[in-house]
């Protein structure tokens, strides 16, 4: 039996990143200038996971300008934490780096358009005493924000960790990714008011080769996505908000799969009101951004 879903669930689907020239012909018209990608994305989806913030510390002025260029006041953002907080950790500099990151995302928070901060940890971030202590400190630095943690090592998916996340009001990021030894299992775990799900693709052959483009090069079939419907319904029944993002960005596959999952959810009664995923297909002519 499908879980009963509260009518007021704020469910949105988007993609991880948007500034991909190869998405022309999929999301963006062929003639659309790159400077107008933000406005076109804002017309198409109701949420966006920003990932450039992993590579460089976000700057407040740049994020304020991006919100303006999106020209979509209802769109909200999740943002990936900078790599100094999750991948290239210097524990003695945590407070300094956290302060810089908070300053950079301030425009999103002030505007009420920050859905969550995503702390994505790599597979090498193993489940150990020092790692647990660091995670506790990190989450404490962002206690006033909606926080979501993505673990790539399966040992973090245990009762002690999940209970700790619940006690702190921190979301657990559920994942779809290859079924490989050491990676987290498929799960529909909810530990906070905001539930979170990322689709990375199932490219097992290229997962460990270090090439992020190859790792996430995958197109889900309709059957693959349909198999997630009971899990998504279960997550939506236990949360106030659910954000779903597709990270299989190569060749616009994230866009295609986001649309397809949106249609499947609409057919299951989760595609109206706040759950609306896009307004219209991009037009064949260029449009001006604000």
CATH number of the domain encompassing residue 133: 3.20.20.410
Span 233-244, pLDDT tens digits: 999 999 999 999
Domain assignment of residue 288, yes or no:
no
Which residue's entry shows tokens 């990151």? 101
Domain assignment of residue 290, yes or no:
no
Look up residue 92 and give its two tokens: 């003695």
- Please, which pLDDT band fits residue 71 given cuts at 50, 70 and 90? confident
pLDDT mean across residues, the chain: 90
Look at residue 283 in the predicted model and tell me its pLDDT: 30
Residue 274 scores a pLDDT above 80:
no
Enter the DSSP assignment of 196.
E
CB atoms within 10 A of CB 135: 23
Domain assignment of residue 82, yes or no:
yes
Helices assigned H by DSSP within 159-228? 159-168, 212-215, 222-226
Domain assignment of residue 286, yes or no:
no
Span 137-146, pLDDT tens digits: 999 999 999 9
Residue 273 scores a pLDDT above 80:
no
Domain assignment of residue 284, yes or no:
no
Which domain range does residue 142 map to? 10-275
Cβ-proximal residues to 224 (8 Å cutoff; 6+ apart), any chain: 202
- Please, which pLDDT band fits residue 271 given cuts at 50, 70 and 90? low
Residue 210 scores a pLDDT above 70:
no
Span 44-60, pLDDT tens digits: 999 999 999 999 999 99
Q: Are 29 and 286 in contact (CB under 8 A)?
A: yes
Domain assignment of residue 1, yes or no:
no
Q: How many domains does the chain have?
A: 1
Domain assignment of residue 87, yes or no:
yes
Look up residue 224 and give its two tokens: 């693959």
Domain assignment of residue 137, yes or no:
yes
Look at residue 209 in the predicted model and tell me its pLDDT: 85
């Amino acid at each position: 039996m499908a879980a009963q879903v509260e009518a007021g669930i704020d469910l949105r689907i988007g993609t991880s990143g948007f500034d991909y020239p190869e998405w022309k012909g999929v999301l963006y018209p062929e003639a659309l200038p790159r400077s107008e990608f933000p406005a076109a994305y804002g017309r198409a989806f109701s949420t966006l996971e920003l990932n450039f913030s992993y590579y460089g510390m976000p700057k407040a002025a740049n994020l304020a300008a991006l919100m303006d260029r999106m020209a979509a006041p209802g769109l909200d953002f999740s943002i990936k934490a900078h790599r100094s907080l999750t991948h290239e950790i210097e524990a003695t500099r945590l407070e300094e780096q956290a302060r810089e990151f908070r300053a950079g995302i301030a425009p999103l928070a002030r505007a009420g358009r920050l859905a969550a901060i995503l702390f994505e940890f790599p597979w090498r971030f193993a489940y150990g005493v020092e790692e647990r202590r660091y995670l506790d400190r990190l989450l404490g630095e962002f206690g006033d924000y909606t926080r979501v943690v993505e673990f790539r090592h399966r040992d973090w998916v245990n009762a002690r960790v999940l209970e700790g996340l619940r006690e702190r009001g921190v979301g657990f990021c559920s994942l779809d990714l290859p079924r490989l030894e050491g990676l987290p299992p498929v799960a529909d775990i909810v530990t906070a008011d905001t539930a979170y799900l990322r689709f990375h693709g199932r490219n097992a052959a290229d997962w460990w080769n270090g090439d992020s483009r190859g790792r996430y090069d995958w197109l889900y079939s309709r059957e693959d996505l349909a198999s997630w419907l009971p899990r998504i319904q279960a997550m939506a029944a236990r949360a106030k908000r659910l954000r779903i993002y597709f990270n299989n960005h190569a060749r616009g596959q994230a866009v295609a799969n986001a649309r397809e999952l949106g249609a499947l959810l609409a057919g299951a009664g989760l595609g109206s009101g706040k759950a609306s995923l896009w307004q219209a297909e991009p037009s064949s002519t260029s449009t001006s951004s604000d």
